[in-house]
Amino acid sequence: MITGCGVVNSRAGRIIHVVHSEIKAKRGDPFSTCLQRIYDALRSAIDASQPDAIALEDIFYGKNVKSLIKLGHVRGVAILAASHSKIPVFEYTPLEVKKAVVGYGRAEKRQVQNMVRAILNLKELPPVDAADALAVAICHTNYLKVTPI
Protein backbone atom coordinates (compact mmCIF):
# COMPACT_ATOMS: atom_id res chain seq x y z
CA MET A 1 0.00 0.00 0.00
CA ILE A 2 1.35 3.40 -1.03
CA THR A 3 -0.10 6.79 -0.12
CA GLY A 4 1.04 9.97 -1.83
CA CYS A 5 1.62 13.25 -0.06
CA GLY A 6 2.25 16.59 -1.74
CA VAL A 7 2.50 20.18 -0.57
CA VAL A 8 2.30 23.25 -2.78
CA ASN A 9 2.18 26.96 -2.10
CA SER A 10 0.23 29.50 -4.08
CA ARG A 11 1.82 32.94 -4.37
CA ALA A 12 0.91 35.75 -6.73
CA GLY A 13 -0.94 33.38 -9.05
CA ARG A 14 1.93 30.88 -9.20
CA ILE A 15 1.87 27.39 -7.76
CA ILE A 16 5.16 26.51 -6.08
CA HIS A 17 6.29 23.01 -5.16
CA VAL A 18 7.16 22.60 -1.49
CA VAL A 19 7.60 18.86 -0.98
CA HIS A 20 6.25 15.50 -2.05
CA SER A 21 6.65 11.95 -0.84
CA GLU A 22 5.18 8.49 -0.89
CA ILE A 23 4.29 6.74 2.32
CA LYS A 24 4.93 3.03 1.85
CA ALA A 25 3.70 0.29 4.08
CA LYS A 26 6.01 -2.62 4.75
CA ARG A 27 5.00 -5.88 3.15
CA GLY A 28 3.47 -8.24 5.64
CA ASP A 29 2.66 -5.58 8.23
CA PRO A 30 -0.83 -5.77 9.74
CA PHE A 31 -3.26 -3.27 8.22
CA SER A 32 -3.47 -1.39 11.53
CA THR A 33 0.31 -0.87 11.45
CA CYS A 34 0.08 0.43 7.88
CA LEU A 35 -2.59 2.93 8.92
CA GLN A 36 -0.47 4.04 11.88
CA ARG A 37 2.53 4.57 9.57
CA ILE A 38 0.39 6.68 7.22
CA TYR A 39 -1.05 8.70 10.11
CA ASP A 40 2.40 9.38 11.61
CA ALA A 41 3.87 10.40 8.24
CA LEU A 42 0.95 12.71 7.49
CA ARG A 43 1.16 14.31 10.94
CA SER A 44 4.89 14.91 10.38
CA ALA A 45 4.19 16.48 6.98
CA ILE A 46 1.46 18.67 8.47
CA ASP A 47 3.71 19.76 11.35
CA ALA A 48 6.57 20.55 8.96
CA SER A 49 4.57 22.44 6.34
CA GLN A 50 1.75 24.01 8.38
CA PRO A 51 -0.77 23.96 5.49
CA ASP A 52 -3.87 26.15 5.34
CA ALA A 53 -5.92 23.26 3.97
CA ILE A 54 -5.77 19.56 3.17
CA ALA A 55 -7.16 18.36 -0.15
CA LEU A 56 -8.04 14.72 -0.80
CA GLU A 57 -9.22 12.85 -3.81
CA ASP A 58 -12.77 11.58 -3.38
CA ILE A 59 -13.27 7.84 -3.55
CA PHE A 60 -13.65 6.64 -7.10
CA TYR A 61 -15.86 3.75 -8.02
CA GLY A 62 -14.05 0.57 -8.96
CA LYS A 63 -14.63 -3.12 -9.25
CA ASN A 64 -12.42 -4.18 -6.34
CA VAL A 65 -14.54 -3.59 -3.25
CA LYS A 66 -11.75 -4.65 -0.87
CA SER A 67 -9.41 -1.99 -2.30
CA LEU A 68 -12.13 0.66 -1.99
CA ILE A 69 -12.68 -0.21 1.66
CA LYS A 70 -8.94 0.06 2.37
CA LEU A 71 -8.87 3.39 0.54
CA GLY A 72 -11.74 4.55 2.75
CA HIS A 73 -9.73 3.66 5.85
CA VAL A 74 -6.70 5.58 4.54
CA ARG A 75 -8.87 8.62 3.77
CA GLY A 76 -10.24 8.43 7.32
CA VAL A 77 -6.70 8.45 8.70
CA ALA A 78 -5.84 11.48 6.54
CA ILE A 79 -8.96 13.33 7.69
CA LEU A 80 -8.16 12.49 11.32
CA ALA A 81 -4.57 13.73 10.92
CA ALA A 82 -5.86 17.02 9.51
CA SER A 83 -8.56 17.41 12.15
CA HIS A 84 -6.00 17.03 14.95
CA SER A 85 -4.38 20.20 13.63
CA LYS A 86 -7.72 21.93 13.05
CA ILE A 87 -7.02 22.13 9.30
CA PRO A 88 -10.03 22.12 6.97
CA VAL A 89 -10.26 19.18 4.56
CA PHE A 90 -11.58 19.50 1.01
CA GLU A 91 -12.24 16.75 -1.48
CA TYR A 92 -12.20 16.65 -5.26
CA THR A 93 -13.35 13.98 -7.64
CA PRO A 94 -10.75 12.30 -9.87
CA LEU A 95 -12.49 14.03 -12.80
CA GLU A 96 -12.04 17.48 -11.19
CA VAL A 97 -8.37 16.76 -10.42
CA LYS A 98 -7.51 15.57 -13.92
CA LYS A 99 -9.43 18.43 -15.51
CA ALA A 100 -7.63 21.00 -13.33
CA VAL A 101 -4.18 19.58 -14.08
CA VAL A 102 -4.39 18.11 -17.59
CA GLY A 103 -7.49 19.83 -18.95
CA TYR A 104 -9.13 16.48 -19.65
CA GLY A 105 -11.09 14.52 -17.05
CA ARG A 106 -10.18 11.10 -18.47
CA ALA A 107 -6.41 11.67 -18.52
CA GLU A 108 -4.10 8.76 -17.76
CA LYS A 109 -1.67 8.63 -14.83
CA ARG A 110 1.36 9.34 -17.02
CA GLN A 111 -0.31 12.48 -18.39
CA VAL A 112 -1.03 13.65 -14.85
CA GLN A 113 2.61 13.00 -13.85
CA ASN A 114 3.92 14.97 -16.84
CA MET A 115 1.62 17.94 -16.24
CA VAL A 116 2.42 18.02 -12.52
CA ARG A 117 6.11 18.11 -13.43
CA ALA A 118 5.50 20.93 -15.93
CA ILE A 119 3.21 23.00 -13.68
CA LEU A 120 5.58 22.76 -10.71
CA ASN A 121 8.74 23.04 -12.84
CA LEU A 122 10.18 19.81 -11.41
CA LYS A 123 13.37 18.35 -12.87
CA GLU A 124 12.09 14.77 -12.67
CA LEU A 125 8.73 13.06 -12.82
CA PRO A 126 7.41 12.57 -9.31
CA PRO A 127 6.44 9.00 -8.39
CA VAL A 128 2.88 8.13 -9.42
CA ASP A 129 1.24 8.39 -6.00
CA ALA A 130 3.11 11.57 -5.10
CA ALA A 131 2.13 13.04 -8.49
CA ASP A 132 -1.50 12.23 -7.71
CA ALA A 133 -1.23 13.99 -4.35
CA LEU A 134 0.42 17.03 -5.95
CA ALA A 135 -2.32 17.04 -8.62
CA VAL A 136 -4.98 17.21 -5.90
CA ALA A 137 -3.09 20.09 -4.26
CA ILE A 138 -2.85 21.90 -7.61
CA CYS A 139 -6.55 21.28 -8.15
CA HIS A 140 -7.35 22.83 -4.78
CA THR A 141 -5.34 25.97 -5.55
CA ASN A 142 -7.31 26.29 -8.80
CA TYR A 143 -10.79 25.64 -7.40
CA LEU A 144 -10.41 26.77 -3.79
CA LYS A 145 -13.62 25.24 -2.55
CA VAL A 146 -14.89 27.01 0.51
CA THR A 147 -16.95 24.29 2.20
CA PRO A 148 -14.79 21.67 3.92
CA ILE A 149 -16.02 18.09 4.42
Identify the pLDDT of residue 48: 96
Q: Which DSSP letter does residue 120 get? A: T
Identify the pLDDT of residue 34: 95
Identify the pLDDT of residue 105: 87
* Domain range list for the chain: 2-143
Mean pLDDT per 10-residue interval, the chain, length 149 residues: 93 91 92 96 96 91 81 94 95 94 92 97 96 97 78
The pTM of the full predicted model, rounded to 2 decimals, is 0.92
Distance separating alpha carbons of residues 111 and 102, to the nearest angstrom: 7
**What is 2-143's CATH number?**
3.30.420.10
